[in-house]
Structure 1
Amino acid sequence: MTVPQHPDGMRYGAIIALACSAFVYFTAETLPVGLLPQISASLHVAPATVGLLVTVYAAFAAAGAVPLTSLTLKVPRHLLLILLVVAYVVSQALAAFAPNFGVLIAARVLTALAHGVFWSVMAPVSSRLGPRGQGGKASSLVLIGNTAGMVLGVPLATILGQTVGWRASYGVLAVAGAAATVGLILALPKMPPTPAQASATMRRQLDQARQVILSKPIFVVCCVTTCAVIGQYAVYTYTAPVVARAGGISGTELSLLLLGYGATGLAANVFVGRLVDRHPGAALAGCFGAVVLALVSLSLLHGQVVTWVAVLVWGAGFAAVPLILQQAALRLSPGRRDTASAVRQTAMQIGIAGGSLVGGAILAAGNVAWLAPFGAVVVAVFGVFAVLRPRVFPLTTDPALAPVTTEIEVIATRRT
């Protein structure tokens, strides 16, 4: 049976299913940001220690992305994505019933290992769900699920955790993951491995990953990704103490603030999704500029209104950065898009781990006031670095010249 396809060439059913999967994965990844005080009190660990839930998650996602993606190249893409979301469901259920911090960390490790492969595979698959020249648009539609995790997932899970308990939040995420699994089963077209994937070996794939990393343009993308994300997550992981200091915001208002952060991010992601195929460099410069402006405001200005405005601008600025960097990696690696996606995903997770670790060290030293300035400086420096690399992040490109991936051939037949 032919997979329903919109007249404009977009496979919206598969896009929605992937967006829902991205939604649950992102919500789980960043959930400790909103529930840091509750988990700390319940499991009797320091807030900076709870931050390790983000650090450890990112570290294992980074470590596993390339080797696990290489090991699973022979698995049909549709089946692999389904299995990865099933693993997510199991890990969230384990977290919901974790008797201590060690078991909670173990549950996060399981999610993280699946996460690294999920995002590595999802990126090239999502860009393939649109017609030629609109891969960025298709990816931006899938990443609406990511942003929706900020808009609805994290804030609502935070409210639930504050009122019922943090375990309830993880339980609801397990149920949501099960629903996303059903969506993938029903909507994803068959994606059998290509001959190149079927004959791939672990050694060959790791060698290919090494070649991709050593490619100067991809190295630049990874460098910008890691360092900018370090600046972002040094602050974002500890949003609760940062906004409490800047604007006296906590409790339910913190949940509403996170909702606003995600809402402006969603709007920005939709807007930038229309630009990323034609004006990637300009879009990246604008996003980094907004992040720096917001973090400088949180550093120098105080008050509830100023904090709200700064956080809303911050959300709008950073939301589309992963999309722009992802599309740059795919554009620069025709024929190796799975590998390039895995390498960029690794770079991002290293940044998340490094940022949350540095932020935790700053917080543990009692210097919460230094979190936002640190983030602003790091993002500004590497934002300028990116702008000065027009071959990697050109101000204008011709989307009609975008390469068509040969790694994933989407066969337009529904799974039976």
Structure 2
Amino acid sequence: MPGAIYVLGFAIFAQGTSEFMLAGLLPAMASELGVSVPTAGLLISAYAIGMVAGAPVLAMATLRLPRRTALLAFLGVFVLMHVIGALTPGYEVLFATRLIGAFASAGFFGVAVVAAVDLVPDAVKGRAVAIVIGGITVSTVLGVPGGTFLGQFLGWRSAFWTVAVLSTVAMVGIAYALPRGRQDAASIPGLRDELRSMANPGLWVAYATSALTFSSMMATFSYLGAMLTDTTGLPEGSVPAVLALFGVGSLIGITIGGRIADAHPFGALTVGMTGVVLASAGIALAATNPVVVIVLVPLLGAFGLVTNPAVSVRVYANLGEVRTLAGATITSAFNVGNTLAPWLGGLVIGAGFGYRSAAWVGAGMAVAALGTVALGASMHRRSILRTNEVAAGTELRVSASAL
């Protein structure tokens, strides 16, 4: 696997840390900024909104730029937004930096995934995407509990400074690891070709699956830190350790998923989402039992992330040679769900149903994801049958003409 794949994974790790570290920082941030925990949770949604808008817009805006140049520019904006976020005293400015930083991160993510796919042969594209996206998983293993730990002992702003430093290191790595130079202008599709590539119905089913799979897990995870202290009754100092268990489970899940996604995407999606339904429901039902919750948290991460490479495989299975816009839009679809998850979780919490209710939201989203997986599998089978029928008809015509 080319070294550039791992560098891109590290950059995604730095940005993923920013996206998810707020799950363990919400109570402290809410207190200092003078807002409620559900309102602070909207900072997670703000990031997701920026990701939804940024991926397709920036991928197309930088279509004719060298990928290395585009990736460095996106990371530069991302670093600047985190420096401002670490310095701002107000919720409104912080909200804006989350939107803009995420917009830039989405552009990075969209270009990085397409770049990774182009760097490797067809047989290992799923594994390459798993390594790049695996940076998100590593951020849940190290970044999220690390950010929570920093927030508890040095204040939540220290976590923002850490992300800025990590992203700067990633910029140096990308500057050295990615190939220089422009793409061949003749090989770059036009905007009309890119838009035409989005007309595939199977692609939109894959996007729906992407929107629901990871976010079904995030509905629970977004408020997990608050639930652990408020409902489960764990001391605040133990929250980073439980979040780290979630990350370990996620790492195991995406490792397994990366190895089976190319050969068994629908199986990985079905098993993963069924596991998320069971783990989320278990957390909701046993939210006051620390032992049960601690056992279920890593299982939630494992089942949730085993689906991640398979989602990318299903998207790229529906793409032809024109894939920049369609490939980048997977990031938007991914974050549509991540916008809905904390928002819906915040709604049910704000309605007085308690932090455990967010886990029920996650279970419901996972059930919906299973529906899109079944639809995608059905469309895939019909496509294979049509292909076989066309091939058989062609063979008969050739045989008849030979006679």
The two structures have a TM-score, normalised by structure 1, of 0.86
Compared with structure 1, are the counterparts of its residues 191 and 308 closer, same or farther at alpha carbon in structure 2 (3 Å cutoff)? farther
Does residue 317 in structure 1 map to residue 303 in structure 2? yes
What secondary structure sits across from 2:262 in the alignment? coil
Q: 1:339 aligns with which of 325, 345, 361?
A: 325
Q: Is the deviation greater in 272-281 or in 335-344?
A: 335-344
Does residue 141 in structure 1 map to residue 135 in structure 2? no
Compared with structure 1, are the counterparts of its residues 391 and 118 closer, same or farther at alpha carbon in structure 2 (3 Å cutoff)? farther
**Equivalent residues of 2:250, 2:301 under 8 A apart:** yes
**Equivalent residues of 2:86, 2:160 under 8 A apart:** yes
Letter in 2 for 1:143: I
Structure 2 residue ranges without an equivalent (≥5): 385-403
What secondary structure sits across from 2:120 in the alignment? coil
1:197 CA displacement: 6.5
Residue 351 of structure 2 aligns with which residue? 365
Alignment partners' CA distance in 2, 1:361 and 1:116:
26
1:326 CA displacement: 1.7
1:297 CA displacement: 0.7
Letter in 2 for 1:356: P
Compared with structure 1, are the counterparts of its residues 63 and 142 closer, same or farther at alpha carbon in structure 2 (3 Å cutoff)? closer
Q: How many residues are paired up?
A: 380
Give the alignment of 1:31-180 within 5 angstroms: 31-180=21-170
**Equivalent residues of 1:299, 1:373 under 8 A apart:** yes
Q: RMSD of aligned C-alpha atoms?
A: 2.0
**Equivalent residues of 1:296, 1:376 under 8 A apart:** yes
Alignment partners' CA distance in 1, 2:7 and 2:211:
28
Q: Deviations over 1:349-375 (max 9, x none)?
A: 111111111111111112123221222
Compared with structure 1, are the counterparts of its residues 362 and 84 closer, same or farther at alpha carbon in structure 2 (3 Å cutoff)? same
**Equivalent residues of 2:148, 2:240 under 8 A apart:** yes
Residue 306 of structure 1 aligns with which residue? 292
What secondary structure sits across from 1:390 in the alignment? helix
Letter in 1 for 2:70: L
What secondary structure sits across from 1:389 in the alignment? helix
**Equivalent residues of 2:50, 2:103 under 8 A apart:** yes
Does residue 24 in structure 1 map to residue 14 in structure 2? yes
Residue 285 of structure 1 aligns with which residue? 270
Compared with structure 1, are the counterparts of its residues 163 and 65 closer, same or farther at alpha carbon in structure 2 (3 Å cutoff)? same
**Equivalent residues of 2:229, 2:236 under 8 A apart:** no
**Equivalent residues of 1:222, 1:344 under 8 A apart:** yes
Letter in 1 for 2:334: M
Q: 1:380 aligns with which of 367, 371, 374?
A: 367
More helix, by proportion? 2
Compared with structure 1, are the counterparts of its residues 84 and 248 closer, same or farther at alpha carbon in structure 2 (3 Å cutoff)? same
**Equivalent residues of 1:73, 1:200 under 8 A apart:** no
**Equivalent residues of 1:246, 1:304 under 8 A apart:** no
**Equivalent residues of 1:328, 1:392 under 8 A apart:** no
1:250 CA displacement: 4.6
**Equivalent residues of 2:26, 2:226 under 8 A apart:** no
1:238 CA displacement: 1.2
What secondary structure sits across from 2:228 in the alignment? helix
Compared with structure 1, are the counterparts of its residues 360 and 393 closer, same or farther at alpha carbon in structure 2 (3 Å cutoff)? farther
Largest Rg, 1 or 2: 2
Alignment partners' CA distance in 2, 1:141 and 1:363:
35
**Equivalent residues of 2:214, 2:305 under 8 A apart:** no
Does residue 239 in structure 1 map to residue 224 in structure 2? yes
What secondary structure sits across from 1:366 in the alignment? helix
**Equivalent residues of 1:280, 1:393 under 8 A apart:** no
Compared with structure 1, are the counterparts of its residues 308 and 191 closer, same or farther at alpha carbon in structure 2 (3 Å cutoff)? farther
Compared with structure 1, are the counterparts of its residues 121 and 392 closer, same or farther at alpha carbon in structure 2 (3 Å cutoff)? farther
1:249 CA displacement: 2.7
**Equivalent residues of 1:220, 1:392 under 8 A apart:** no
Q: Deviations over 1:80-109 (max 9, x none)?
A: 112111221111111111121111112111
Alignment partners' CA distance in 1, 2:186 and 2:39:
44
Q: Deviations over 1:251-277 (max 9, x none)?
A: 221111111101111122112111111
1:198 CA displacement: 5.4
Letter in 1 for 2:84: L
1:66 CA displacement: 1.4
**Equivalent residues of 2:145, 2:244 under 8 A apart:** yes
Residue 282 of structure 2 aligns with which residue? 297
Compared with structure 1, are the counterparts of its residues 153 and 219 closer, same or farther at alpha carbon in structure 2 (3 Å cutoff)? same
1:377 CA displacement: 2.2
Letter in 1 for 2:284: S
Letter in 2 for 1:382: A
Alignment partners' CA distance in 1, 2:380 and 2:227:
32
Alignment partners' CA distance in 2, 1:196 and 1:220:
31
1:49 CA displacement: 0.8
Letter in 2 for 1:261: F
Residue 227 of structure 1 aligns with which residue? 212
What secondary structure sits across from 2:190 in the alignment? coil
What secondary structure sits across from 1:73 in the alignment? coil
1:127 CA displacement: 2.2
Residue 334 of structure 2 aligns with which residue? 348
